[in-house]
């Protein structure tokens, strides 16, 4: 590694930064982007893709930069995933009363439903693969539905990272397909979510929203002009005279990543079965669980703030997303456009149908609000769920955000833990068997959600009323 290489890397990141800012500008000015809530990283990434060597090749920059961009998501996703356990707190704290305590019971059934629909997306993807007879498709084709929908653009780098570590030649194509499904997921999920909110408001299924809401301007354009209304990034847990708070949180994340690489290197050096084949980001999560556990044991957990951690990992995600899109192998992805479109459409249907049907029957109190948040997460990212939730609960008066956040945290940890298995299933057993296993596991998760609902709310609870005029909280 030379200073020239590092300088070149910095220049290439400068180009990504420029197109991120262009994406922010276009999001604020173009109505179509506002209505579909496409993130600035996606807008800037596709613009960079169009102007780059994959399309019109009009940018006076080295084409090698785009080769770097294809590798960047697989590297940046390591700190993103490793950061997940940091600051993790399970439990809703003290409840204000009996009703809130009852509503908090929704978390366990919601985890079952959220995890069930995530796994069923793998079943749909591999089912489409099997339906095409595997003709012209690479071994793992189909996993991109679950990677793109639940994982989002950033997790496409996880797939590329894992397949690259397995020395599979189609890793870049798979990463591109995952990026494509993620784009379909986030746009389609938001449009479906808004349509559902409008329908639910008119039919009395929303607890707080009595008519279709006008989406606040800051959510549409992507920023808040009023300084007094701008949210805080989190607590300053350390003094800048010692270390900046963001630098402290970043250091914890980087330490976990460094140790993860060391553990993986040792496992490969000693040829330890199974352990030598686990991806580095999985080790990153394990190491971070240990680090966070030690901090909690030493009672220095006050040094970590969840919001700050989230902002650090989100910054990595933004650059991972724009890099993945800018380096998308268009020609390779275009060869799979028909099966991609089929699995995306089926993914919309299964995801929306399963969440609506089971959340309505398993959750008690604000079922629609919790369902719509989970829908956003299941087709985009965590913030997509928050966006949809804020449309039907603008002031966040319901406990839906707390329930959704906790269920998302647990679901994401289990999701990443299972990811390696779902990648290896079609390679070892074929796409058809992988689809069957995913289907069975998805049904088991949904059944577990139903059992949890019965345990939490009693056998007399049979779901929410469907009568018009009855709100999600059961009140007329």
- DSSP conformation class of 94: S
* Residue 227 is assigned to a structural domain of this protein: no
* Residue 224 is assigned to a structural domain of this protein: no
* Predicted confidence (pLDDT) per residue in 21-67, tens digit: 999 999 999 999 988 888 899 999 999 999 999 899 999 999 999 99
Percent of the chain with pLDDT over 90: 62
**Which 3 state secondary structure label does DSSP give 258?**
helix
Work out the average pLDDT over 437-442. Answer: 97
* Predicted confidence (pLDDT) per residue in 105-143, tens digit: 889 999 999 999 999 999 999 999 999 997 889 999 999
pLDDT at 322 over 60: yes
* Residue 207 is assigned to a structural domain of this protein: yes
Q: Domain count of the chain?
A: 1
pLDDT at 370 over 50: yes
What is the spatial distance between Cα 29 and Cα 302, in angstroms, rounded to a whole number? 41
- pLDDT for 99 equals 45
More confident residue, 306 or 121: 121
- pLDDT for 448 equals 96
Question: Mean pLDDT over all residues of the chain?
Answer: 88
Is the four-CA dihedral 253, 254, 257, 258 of positive or negative sign? negative
* Predicted confidence (pLDDT) per residue in 79-99, tens digit: 988 998 899 775 544 444 444
Residue listed under structure tokens 């090749």: 57
* Residue 101 is assigned to a structural domain of this protein: yes
* Residue 229 is assigned to a structural domain of this protein: no
What is the spatial distance between Cα 371 and Cα 462, in angstroms, rounded to a whole number? 17
- pLDDT for 214 equals 59
Work out the average pLDDT over 414-434. Answer: 93
What is the spatial distance between Cα 48 and Cα 37, in angstroms, rounded to a whole number? 19
Angstrom CA distances, 63 to 15, 54, 60, 157, 327, stand at 12, 9, 9, 20, 10
More confident residue, 438 or 381: 438
Give me the half-sphere count of Cα atoms (radius 13 Å) on the Cβ side of residue 425.
24
* Residue 98 is assigned to a structural domain of this protein: yes
- pLDDT for 267 equals 92
Work out the average pLDDT over 236-244. Answer: 96
Work out the average pLDDT over 160-164. Answer: 90
Q: Which one of 100-104, 300-304, 417-421 scores highest in mean pLDDT?
A: 300-304
- pLDDT for 470 equals 39
* Residue 99 is assigned to a structural domain of this protein: yes
Q: What range defines the domain where residue 393 resides?
A: 11-219+244-457
pLDDT at 469 over 70: no
DSSP string, 96-137: SSHHHHHHHTTHHHHHHHHHHHHHHHHHHHHHHHHHTTTTT-
- pLDDT for 474 equals 38
């Amino acid at each position: 590694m030379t200073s020239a290489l590092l300088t070149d890397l910095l220049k290439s990141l400068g180009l990504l930064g420029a197109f991120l800012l262009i994406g922010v500008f276009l999001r604020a000015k173009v109505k179509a982007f506002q209505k579909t809530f496409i993130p600035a990283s996606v807008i800037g990434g596709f613009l960079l893709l169009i102007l780059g060597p994959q399309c019109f090749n009009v940018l006076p920059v080295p084409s090698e930069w785009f080769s770097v961009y294809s590798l960047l998501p697989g590297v940046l996703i390591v700190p993103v995933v490793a950061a997940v356990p940091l600051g993790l707190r399970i439990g809703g704290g003290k409840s204000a009363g009996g009703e809130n305590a009852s509503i908090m019971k929704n978390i366990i059934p919601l985890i079952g439903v959220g995890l069930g629909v995530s796994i069923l997306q793998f079943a749909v993807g591999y089912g489409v693969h099997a339906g095409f007879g595997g003709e012209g498709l690479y071994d793992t084709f189909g996993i991109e539905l679950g990677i793109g929908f639940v994982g989002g653009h950033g997790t496409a780098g996880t797939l590329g990272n894992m397949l690259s570590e397995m020395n599979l030649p189609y890793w870049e194509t798979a990463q591109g397909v995952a990026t494509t499904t993620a784009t379909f997921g986030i746009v389609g999920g938001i449009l479906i979510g808004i349509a559902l909110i409008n329908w639910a408001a008119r039919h009395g299924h929303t607890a707080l929203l009595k008519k279709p809401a006008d989406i606040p301007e800051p959510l549409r354009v992507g920023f808040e002009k009023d300084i007094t209304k701008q949210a805080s990034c989190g607590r300053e847990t350390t003094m800048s005279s010692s270390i900046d708070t963001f630098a402290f949180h970043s250091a914890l994340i980087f330490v976990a990543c460094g140790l993860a690489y060391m553990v993986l290197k040792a496992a490969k050096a000693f040829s330890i079965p199974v352990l030598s084949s686990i991806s580095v980001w999985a080790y990153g999560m394990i190491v971070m669980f240990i680090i966070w556990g030690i901090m909690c044991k030493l009672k220095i957990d006050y040094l970590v703030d969840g919001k700050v951690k989230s902002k650090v990992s989100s910054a990595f995600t933004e650059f991972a997303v724009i890099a993945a899109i800018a380096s998308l192998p268009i020609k390779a992805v275009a060869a799979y456009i028909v099966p991609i479109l089929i699995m995306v459409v089926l993914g919309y249907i299964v995801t929306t149908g399963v969440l609506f049907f089971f959340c309505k029957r398993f959750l008690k109190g604000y079922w629609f609000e919790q369902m719509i948040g989970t829908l956003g997460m299941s087709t985009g990212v965590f913030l997509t769920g928050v966006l949809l939730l804020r449309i039907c609960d603008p002031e966040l008066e319901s406990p839906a955000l707390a329930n959704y956040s906790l269920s998302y945290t647990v679901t994401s940890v289990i999701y990443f833990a299972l990811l390696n298995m779902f990648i290896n299933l079609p390679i070892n057993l074929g796409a058809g068997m992988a689809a069957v296993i995913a289907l069975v596991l998805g049904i088991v998760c949904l059944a577990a959600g139903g059992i949890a609902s019965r345990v939490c709310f009693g056998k007399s609870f049979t779901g929410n009323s469907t009568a018009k005029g009855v709100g999600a909280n059961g009140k007329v």
